[in-house]
Structure formats: structure tokens, C-alpha cells
Amino acid sequence: MKKRIAVSFLLLTLVACSSLVQPIPTEIPTFTAVPTRTAPVIPTMTLRTSGETPDGTSELASEWNGVPIMPGEIAGEGDEDGYVFTIKATPQRVQEYYQLELGNLGWQLLSQEADESSMIMMFVNGASETLTIHVIAKDGEALVLLVK
């Protein structure tokens, strides 16, 4: 009897370890893609440098929203709220240009603050519009910001 149990145990072990035993199928999990939010597209202003414009011409803007851009602009960009440009000029030269040109267009200087490297001028016209001009000087160039 002990032989029979030993043989049965041996056969059972052989059958269990043999290739006749089929593996139990298991389900492989699948994953579905979850939509993700993408960042919104934010419009950007385009920086133009001397010699290039959006339409392929060789000149930069001569005015912004009816306000003249000082000739000699090196680079500039803007939108409906403001325009900024760089020019090789002193703040005093920028001040002289805008007082003369805006005066010819009916704008009056309302206030002005200045120190050695920056200047702020505020103009008003007959339609009660205001225009602020910020000038920051550095290394022989001026950064000019027009805000209407």
C-alpha cells in the first residue's frame, strides 16, 4: 500500500510538472486613454527688428494708434494696448521729438517726471484721450513705451 501511495504521489508530481498541464488563462488588464487638457494658445506679440516687417517690407511702423513712432527705431512690437520700441537716442531727444510731434497733432503735455535714466510724460488731446510715454535709457539706447 505504501508503494501505491508513493507511486501515486510520484505520478501526481510528474503530471503537475509536465507540459501537459495547461496554464490557467488570466485576463490582461487594458488601459484606455484619458483625455487631458492642453494649455490654451496664448497670442504673442512679434518682435520686429530693423529691415523686417510682417508684410515683408523693409520699414518699421511709422505710427501706432495715431501716435507717431520716432524715426530711427531699432526694434519694436505692440498691440492695441501699447507699443514698445528701442532707439539710439537720449531721453531728452525722445522728449523733444514727442513734444513737437504730438503738439502738432493737438496733444498737450499734462505732466512729466524725469531723472538721469528715465522719464515719464503724460499727454492729453481734445477728445480727452491720454497717452503715457515711458522712456528708460541704457548704454546709449532708449526703450520707449507708448500706452494709450
Supply the mean pLDDT for the chain: 77
pTM here is 0.60
Question: Is pLDDT above 50 for 49?
Answer: no
Question: Is pLDDT above 80 for 58?
Answer: no
Q: Residue 133's closest CA among 75, 142, 77?
A: 142
Distance CA 63, CA 43 (A): 22
Residue 61 pLDDT class (50, 70, 90 cuts): confident
pLDDT of residue 56: 44
Our CA angle for 13, 18, 21, nearest 5°, is 100
Distance CA 135, CA 118 (A): 5
pLDDT of residue 3: 55
Mean pLDDT score, 5-10: 47
What top-level class would CATH report for the domain 48-147?
A: alpha beta
- The DSSP output letter for 47 is P
Question: Is pLDDT above 50 for 15?
Answer: no
Mean pLDDT score, 65-91: 93
Residue 137 pLDDT class (50, 70, 90 cuts): very high
